[in-house]
Amino acid sequence: MAVIGGGDTGADCLGTSLRQRALSVHQFEIMPKPPEQRDPSTPWPLWPRQLRTETSHEEGGIRDWGVSSVKFTGDENGRVKQLHAVRVGPPPKFESIPGSAFTLDVDLVLIAMGFLGPVRSGMIEQLGVALDNRGNVATNGLYQTSVEHVFAAGDMRRGQSLVVWAINEGRQAAAAVDRYLATVAEPVPHRHHALT
């Protein structure tokens, strides 16, 4: 399997996958490999630019830097079978390095890339749900948004966090939706959708 993203969430995905007995886990990061020691360009008190090894990384897996995932291919049932990638140069251009394309056989891909908030164009704007002061979808204590019959959970509601929080929020939101549906007098119109 593969994890796309080299941050904390990617490390969490890697560790969880290993604990779930994945045969192999590759973690890809588009940025170049950071230096082993604090980079002089980030002196204290700035956040240090340097390689970090989380406890999840100590459990195993293969980390690789300067890799951009290009596409996925799969079987006729829509199951992913291969990840196609290419090695890239440094930011900000991340130009493909000629002759560096490669393919990895996978049966699962977890995307743990940088989160900049929910995409507002499209469903959020069309539904007109309220946002909180951080730009995430605002909800009450029952995961309900400002629009009747519309719920939100996970990063969309909470903001960037760990996958364990997303799992927990998904379960709690599902229970809240179940309680809500059990109490509404009329069926929910089909045109409404839950945000996740």
Q: What is the mean pLDDT of residues 43-59?
A: 87
- Looking at the chain, the whole-number percentage of residues with pLDDT higher than 70 is 92
pLDDT of residue 186: 60
pLDDT band at 194 (very low <50, low <70, confident <90, very high): low
Q: What is the pLDDT of residues 105-114, one digit of tens each?
A: 999 999 988 6
Q: What is the mean pLDDT of residues 34-61?
A: 89
pLDDT of residue 159: 83
> What's the rounded Cα separation, in Å, for the pair 115 and 102?
26
**Residue environment code for 108-137, b if the CB has 16+ CB neighbours within 10 A, otherwise e:** ebbebeeeeebeeeeebeebebeeeeeebb
Hey, what domains does the chain have and what are their CATH numbers? 2-111 (3.50.50.60), 123-183 (no CATH)
Q: What is the pLDDT of residues 136-181, one digit of tens each?
A: 999 999 999 999 999 999 888 988 777 788 889 999 999 999 999 9
pLDDT band at 28 (very low <50, low <70, confident <90, very high): very high
Q: What is the pLDDT of residues 72-104, one digit of tens each?
A: 999 999 999 999 999 999 988 999 999 999 999
pLDDT of residue 191: 57
Q: Is the per-residue pLDDT at 22 higher than 90? A: yes
Q: Is the per-residue pLDDT at 42 higher than 90? A: no
In DSSP terms, 71 is beta-bridged to 84
Before 98, cis peptide (omega within 30)? no
